[in-house]
Amino acid sequence: MSSIKGLEDWILDKRFPDEKRNVQVSIHPKYIDIKSIYNLSPKERKAKVAEDRKQKIEKIMKLNLFTSYEVTGSPGKPSGLKAIIPFLVLSKLNKIQSIAYFTINKIDKAKRKVLKASTNFYCVKMTVVIEVEKQKKGIQTIEDRMVLIKAKSFDDAYKKMEKVKDKKVEPYLNIHGELVRWRIESLDDCFVTDINTPEELNNPGGVEVYSKLKGRRLTKDRVWNGEV
C-alpha cells in the first residue's frame, strides 16, 4: 500500500482492522488525446472532450470498486468522481488506465500528518536605483533585478528581502571621483518557482525562475493557424 501517492501523509490507527477501513477519494480521469481532436472545430472539440470524460467516468464506475460515489461537475460537463472505496482495494486505482490521478480526502480511523511548511525558491523582482551624489538632473540609471531566495511563502520571501533592502548600502567612487551607491528602491513582484534544491538549477533544459503574463495586439505575423 506504500506505493499509493498521498498515503504517506496519513497515520492509521493500527487497532482498527484494514478490512473495515474505507477511504474517501477524488478521482480525475485522463484528458483526451489532444491529437484526436486537431481537425475538429472548437465547438466540436468541446463536445468531444466532454463526451470522452463522461465515457471514462462511466467506465470507472462500472468497475464496481466503490461503496458509494457521486459525479462531480455538471451533468453536461462531468469533471470526475468523489467516491468511498474499501482501503484494501485502494491500490487498484493505480492500475486503471483512464485515471490521471486521485487524491485521498479522508481515511476511517486515521489522522492526517501535520506537515512542516516546505520551502521553495522564490524569485523577487525589484527596482534598484543607481544614485550619484548631488545629481539633480539628467537621466538616472535604474536596474530591473531578479533575486532567487529560499522561503516558505510569498510573505516570507518579501520579509527576507525587506531586511536586505533596509541594509545600509556602502558607496564607492566612480571614475569622476563622485560617490555612487546602488540602492534597492522597491520590491515589485514575487514568483514561486518549481525549484526545491540548488541541484535542480543544473537541469540541461533550464529552469523557469520568473513569469508574468502580458497582453499585446495581434498582427498578421503573430497569427497561429493551428498547425503543429
In this structure, is residue 220 part of a structural domain?
A: no
Same domain? 105 vs 142: no
- With respect to residue 102, please indicate whether it lies within any of the assigned structural domains: yes
Q: What is the pLDDT along the chain (228 residues), one digit of tens a residue?
A: 547 888 999 999 999 999 999 999 999 999 999 999 999 999 999 999 999 999 999 999 999 999 999 999 998 889 999 999 999 999 999 999 999 999 999 999 999 998 777 789 999 999 999 999 999 999 999 999 999 999 999 999 999 999 999 888 899 999 999 999 999 999 999 999 999 888 998 999 999 999 999 999 999 999 998 887
Structural domain range at position 108: 7-112
The number of distinct structural domains making up the chain is 2
**Are 67 and 129 members of one domain?**
no
Q: Are residues 124 and 195 in the same domain?
A: yes
Tell me how far apart the terminal alpha carbons of the chain are, to the nearest angstrom: 41
